[in-house]
A and B are shown apart, each in its own frame.
Chain A
Amino acid sequence: MAAADPIVAIRDLTKVYRQGEIDVTALDAVSLDIASGEFLALMGPSGSGKSTLLHIIAGIDRATSGECSVQGVDVARLNESELADWRNRNVGFVFQTFNLIPVLTAAENVELPLLLTGLVAAERREMVAAALDLVGLGDRARHLPRQLSGGQEQRVAIARALVTDPQLVVADEPTGNLDSRAAHDVLEILASLASRGGKTVIMVTHDPKAASFGNRSLHLEKGRLAES
């Protein structure tokens, strides 16, 4: 599973959760390379470990053993603060439930990660406008999340993920709460991010249709990898 120019290199990655007296193995010695500009779909039944793998790659969870290197950085070696900075610069997140801040407008939600960058307000506004235009919501910048449809909310979440121009975009069931039309729009945006924008997109999904938008699909079963 070696990629020519891997942005993500995973070797023997294992994650074991402790649930009371029982150890539950979520990932079992997974090895994987993901190329730059690739749109990878991670599939598998519930509890197969696909979200855990995504979280470790994105630096929001830590492996029990093994290596996970993203853009040459071994994320396991970063402390909490370094990891936070690293995520801000290198990873964009898209979640199933959009997770927009309800008291902020679409533009302000997108601007949120930029507050940590030290950019001046004018620069931030410019980048927010570009990100919203990219997802086709330039005219909804001043709308609150409750004034948007589910599909629009998810597109705002994608704009938030892109606004810091990260190389890696991770999406956990991004179409899980959307109707087929809105899901199609979101998947097209994610696909174009990889094909035209050169981003590396890793998406967890249950839906084979959604997975078909990717360049490659991987199946996880009981914490082990099976490429399809």
Chain B
Amino acid sequence: MTLGGYIYRNALRNKRRAVLTSGSVAVSLFLFLTLQVAKREMTIPPEDAGASLRIAVRNKISLANTLPARQLPAIEKLPGVVAVMPFTYFGGKFKDDDSLGFAQFAVDPGKFRQLFGEAKIPAEQFEAWRTTRDACIVGRDTAKRYGLKVGDRVTLIGTIYPVDLELKIAGIYGGTIDDTNMWFHHVYLDEAMGNWGRVGMWWMRAENAEVVPGLLTRINALFANTSSEVRAETERAFQMSFVSMWGNISFLINSICSVVVFTLALVTASTMSMTVRERFRELAILKAVGFRRHQIVACLLAESFLLASAGAVVGVGGAAWLFGSGAVKGLTGGIFPSFELTVRIASMAVLIAFVLGVFAIILPARAVTRMSVVDGLRAVD
């Protein structure tokens, strides 16, 4: 027999309690991970390869205010600009779908590849989209969700704009971090709106990362003191400003996580206290036969670690498996396109488990170190 074997058998002495304790750690850590990954997705959306070169130009007043289409040539002329594309969120309703559905954007297909080159789509389908005014392309996940295929005709009922759009699916794309969107011609929206002459915002691509800061300054200056002042910002800054509309989501989620961890700490501490209290006489015997205080505390700590670690393996492993399988993307209707469990977040959960292992044993260990052999024997006898 080794001390390790002794600790292992003690940990599993009351199997039901051990399973419930480890289970509560696992479930709580899983919840913690889910919340932290969701927070990360909401506050730091995943970026693709071209994100560092993309610039968003929106109305300075708010994202809801549109911009005049006549700004395009002025932006295109700026040195360091590779491509500029109109970008308008249509926000239409598809069929009788009452869910969040999917996002639809009016863009310029001729510039699309330069701006969002990550999308994988067969060349003939892309070409069909580019050359057909009422055509659109749909993300693979949305096509799968609604059973859409190339050649189908769909109607989007306008909820923001007072027009309905009849669109023909020319292609289905994939390979982006969010394969749920629908893209269609901006000129088609413009026509439907009676030559509206406005765009939601501009997306542009810079030559390289070095010119980006200068471009931001020049674009903002270009339309300063006009009726449509703009705010140019990097894709990351744009995403963060978008996120700010959620309110202080980080504080909310961190508060919930704190409550979860605190509750878990109380549960594990209570369990370990019970475990030690039931074994006071045995621990007194260990002392009597020569075990020192720190050796006994080390055994209890190892036992506590073992239970917490088992919970961490199940909780973190389960989360890694579930999040990695892409199930969350399906369960949330694509709201969280990647739901990636990062090493940093997983490490936080493992660290919490270890801290719990220590915290749970503090009070019982204190009682054991203070207990004399005689008191330990009297406690039960």
Contacts and interface: CB of A to CB of B under 8 A. Distances in A.
Contacts of B2: 115
A113 interface: yes
Contact of B374 (A61, A108, A116): A61
Nearest to A52: B374
B289 A88 contact: yes
Q: How large is the interface on A (under 10, 10 to 19, 20 to 34, 35 or more residues)?
A: 20 to 34
Given A60-B373, A61-B373, A99 B291 contact: no
A65 interface: no
A93 interface: yes
Interface in B1-28: 1-3, 6, 9-10, 12-13
B373 A113 contact: no
A104 B6 contact: yes
B290 A102 contact: no
B288 interface: yes
A111 B373 contact: no
Interface string B283-317: 00111111111010000000000000000000000
B299 to A, nearest CB: 11
Contacts of A104: 1, 6, 9
Contact of B282 (A58, A99, A107): A99
A80 B10 CA distance: 25
A224 interface: no
A97 B376 CA distance: 13
A96 B381 contact: yes
Contacts of B289: 87-88, 93, 112-113, 116, 160
A188 interface: no
Contacts of B281: 97, 99
Interface of A: 55, 58, 60-61, 80-81, 84-85, 87-89, 93, 95-97, 99, 101-104, 107-108, 111-113, 115-116, 160
Interface of B: 1-3, 6, 9-10, 12-13, 281-282, 285-293, 295, 372-374, 377, 380-381
26 contacts: A60-B288, A60-B374, A61-B373, A80-B292, A84-B287, A85-B290, A87-B289, A89-B290, A97-B380, A99-B285, A102-B13, A104-B1, A104-B6, A104-B9, A107-B1, A108-B6, A111-B1, A112-B286, A113-B290, A115-B1, A115-B2, A115-B3, A115-B6, A116-B290, A116-B291, A160-B289
